[in-house]
Amino acid sequence: MKIVCYKDTILKAINSVVKGVASKTTMPILEGILIQTNDNEIKLTTYDLEIGIECVMSCEVKEQGSTVVNAIMFSEIIRKLPNTEIHISVNDKNLLEIECEGSLYKLATMNPEEFPELPKIEVENSIELDQCVLKNMIRKTIFAVSQEESRQIFTGCLFEIESNKLSLVCVDGFRLALRSIFLNKQSNDFKAVIPGKTLNEVNKIISDGFEPVKIGVAKNQALFEMDNCKVVTRILDGEFLNYKNVIPSNWETRIKVNTNNIQDSFERISLISASTVEKEKKYPVKVQVDIGKVVISCTTQTGDAKEELYVETEGKNLEAGFNPKYFLDCLKAIDDEEVFVEFGTSISPCLIKPIENNDYTYMILPIRLKEDD
């Protein structure tokens, strides 16, 4: 195998596939990148038996062939080489040679025939949408994916197509993020829970442009195809939360507020809430709604803080406690200038919603405040 390519071209392909490399494994082959030539293209593949990523790029192929090389070592060498032409070949001792200007590196290789094949997916249902749309939907929901492996189904994001509406739903037991759009092309109804890890990688590969991304689903696998890359992933088993039944349909207190203003207030309050003196302890903030204003406050052993915002209010006065991080994660994902924040009672979920449409909803569970708060 002999190829010639430019650093920025091959580095872009490496960056797309490297997250499919197994980090903890007893199989060294899974720590590698499979490099295969095909006419004047090379294909890079990684697969950790849960997520597989393929990327095809054009280059000058002088001699056809294939090999597997340690992904981390290969990517770090390429990353640190000059921005110019790179010659990559496998010599007669089966070492991968990387030449660039005055640099020469030789790496041990592994047998490409031992590299596991990516699953062949017989797609049963599929949708197509612009990459920038999917990127936006992932950004607005992925932060609410659970990190608790004990509740594995919630470490994924629900993709649900119903009456030609695509909804992405993430939930971690304390909050819920929902983003919906109507599809341009007619699609069957279906649902699948995609691992959050996979979506994070897809999000890094897709662009901010209008190029299409195709999402295909089979019984236990899903496929994302975009540009010159494809990502194969398993679908999580289990019953996802019936989110429509847990999102409140009525409110007793509602405020209309500038998104940046309330975000800034929560960020300043968090300086006190996330106490540096007691790193393990996180204090709730108190949200108090009175006529025409909302007061956000927190008292800890480090000190106390209070933020007062003049807002439009409807309904009853209210007092409730919340984890400020959950509010901030939601507010940072919102592009609208103003939002509604809707409350039930002091112990029922709070909703953050757009004013003019229903394309996203965030739900946050309150924290009980101590009597002396």
**CATH number of the domain that residue 44 is part of:** 3.10.150.10
Residue 372 has pLDDT above 50, yes or no: no
Q: How confident is the model at residue 25 (pLDDT cuts 50, 70, 90)?
A: confident
What is the arithmetic mean of pLDDT over 130-134?
96
**Structure confidence at residue 368 as a pLDDT band (50, 70, 90):** confident
Interhelix angle for 259-273 vs 324-332, to 10°? 150
pLDDT score recorded for residue 24: 83
In this prediction, residue 179 has a pLDDT band, given cuts at 50, 70 and 90, of very high
Same domain, 198 and 129: yes
Query: Do residue 176 and residue 237 come from a single domain?
Result: yes
pLDDT of the residue at 271: 87
**Average pLDDT rounded to a whole number, residues 86-101:** 96
Per-residue confidence (pLDDT) for residue 322, from 0 to 100 = 94
Question: According to the model, what pLDDT value does residue 8 have?
Answer: 94
* 278 and 229, same domain (yes or no): no
Encoded tokens for 158: 């629900």
Is residue 140 domain-shared with residue 107, that is, in the same domain? no
Residue that has been written with the tokens 């103003």 in this structure: 338
Q: Please indicate, yes or no, if residue 370 is contained in any of the structural domains.
A: no
Which of 114, 135, 151 is where one domain is finished? 114
Does some domain include residue 56?
yes
Residue 369 belongs to a domain: no
Regarding whether 132 and 79 lie in a shared domain, the answer is: no
Average pLDDT (339-354) is: 95
Residue 371 lies in a domain: no
Indicate the residue among 114, 135, 153 that finishes a domain.
114
Domain of residue 355: give its range.
247-364
Question: Is the pLDDT score of 167 beyond 50?
Answer: yes
Q: What is the pLDDT of residue 373?
A: 44
Say whether pTM exceeds 0.75: yes
Residues 252 and 227 in one domain: no
- pLDDT at res. 281: 55
13/101 same-domain check: yes
Same-domain status, 26 and 64: yes
pLDDT at 144 over 90: yes
Q: Are residues 90 and 131 in the same domain?
A: no
Name the least confident of 133-137, 151-155, 192-196, 368-372: 368-372
Number of domains forming the structure of the chain: 3
**C-beta of residue 45 within 8 angstroms of C-beta of residue 115:** yes
Closest-CA residue to 238 (of 173, 197, 194, 190): 194
Identify whether 373 is part of a domain.
no
Average pLDDT over the chain, rounded to an integer: 93
Please check whether residues 337 and 253 belong to one and the same domain. Answer: yes
Per-residue 3-state assignment (H helix, E strand, C coil) for the chain = CEEEEEHHHHHHHHHHHHHHCCCCCCCHHHHEEEEEEECCEEEEEEECCCEEEEEEEECEEEECCEEEEEHHHHHHHHHHCCCCEEEEEECCCCEEEEEECCEEEEEEEECHHHCCCCCCCCCCEEEEEEHHHHHHHHHCCHHHCCCCHHHHHHHEEEEEEECCEEEEEEECCCEEEEEEEECCCCCCCEEEEEEHHHHHHHHHHCCCCCCEEEEEECCCEEEEEECCEEEEEECCCCCCCCHHHHCCCCCCEEEEEEHHHHHHHHHHHHHHHCCCCCCCCCCCEEEEEECCEEEEEEECCCCEEEEEEECEEEECCEEEEECHHHHHHHHHCCCCCEEEEEECCCCCCEEEEECCCCCEEEEECCECCCCCC
Q: Is residue 268 one of the residues assigned to a domain?
A: yes
Same domain for 220 and 304, yes or no, is: no
Domain boundary residue, one of 66, 85, 114: 114
Distances (CA, A) of 44 to 14, 158, 206, 252: 7, 29, 17, 55
| Upper half-sphere CA count for residue 322 (Cβ side, 13 Å) | 30
Same domain? 301 vs 277: yes
| Residue 287 reports pLDDT greater than 50 | yes
